[in-house]
Amino acid sequence: MSDEADHIAERKMQFLFALRSKGVTDARVLTAMEKIDRSPFIRGYFAERAYEDMPLPIACGQTISQPSVVGLMTQALKVTPRDTVLEVGTGSGYQAAILSQLVRRIYTVDRHKRLVREATEVFRALDLTNITALTADGCFGLPDQAPFDRIIVTAAAEDPPGPLLAQLKIGGIMVLPVGQSDTVQRLIRVTRTETGFDYDELRSVRFVPLVEGLGRDV
Ligand code: SAH
């Protein structure tokens, strides 16, 4: 192996080790994260730091989430290969790309048209054909494609948005951060039952806020 290939292989091993040590233990999730390279989702200067377990800046003042948080949220969703999933907050597209390896179809929406366009370019380049990215206000979900087996929200709301709860199938699971921005947010898992919703608190996290309406770049 060349020095460069050696170096990349070593960084990848460290990346997977960091994920495991932070609680990402599901073999299917780890395999997806080993396969999908994070660097194409980070344009420019920060791309060389793709293998660090850190959130990094992307366009439109947003961030690509920390890989271990992506892994823990994916694990918490308990997806199956038959699932249709909605992601609110496409951002770089990295979380959607990881999920695309584990489910049948994923719809992902972002309020910033530019992020949707750039993520779509990366999905095409990587031949991830089961992802549909759309510009939309995710506070309202995606009524045309609802209901969903799983919903993941990667921006923090004060409470789970009603339309998203309504678009979850019975037996379906939603994972989302709740709390005010700039304070501690809690990652929660909501499971829809025959009669209502069960809530589990998973851990504390820090996400950019869920903002109503479309971005000004639209
Ligand atoms: N999942 C992303 C990280 C998302 S950062 C990744 O893997 O890179 C949060 C994203 O949520 C931002 O891109 C922001 O534009 C988006 N967002 C915030 N409020 C939104 C809303 N109401 N509807 C859709 N997207 C929203």
Q: What is the pLDDT of residue 1?
A: 62
Q: What is the pTM of this model?
A: 0.96
Four-CA torsion 120, 122, 127, 133, nearest 10 degrees: -20
Helix (H) or strand (E) run with residue 17 in it: helix 3-21
Ligand 1 centre distance from Cα of residue 2 (Å): 38
How far, in Å, CA of 73 to CA of 75, rounded? 5
The predicted structure's pLDDT at residue 216: 82
pLDDT in tens, 184-210: 899 999 999 999 999 999 999 999 999
Q: What is the DSSP string of 49-76?
A: GTTSSS-EE-GGG-EEPPHHHHHHHHHH
The predicted structure's pLDDT at residue 130: 98
pLDDT at 14 (0 to 100): 92
User: What residues form DSSP beta bridges with 70?
Assistant: none
What domains can you pick out in the chain, each with its CATH number? 3-205 (3.40.50.150)
Cα separation of 101 and 37, whole Å? 13
- The binding-site residues of ligand 1, defined as CB within 6 angstroms of any ligand atom, are 62-65, 88-89, 91-92, 94-95, 109-112, 115, 137-139, 154-155, 208, 210-212
Tally of CB atoms within 10 A around 89: 25
Protein residue with least CA distance to atom 17, ligand 1? 89
**What's the gap in Å between 22 CA and the centre of ligand 1?**
23
Between 3-21 and 67-77, two packed helices, what is the crossing angle to 10 degrees?
50
Unique residue bearing structure tokens 């530019």:
114
Question: Which residue positions in the chain have pLDDT lower than 70?
Answer: 1, 181, 218
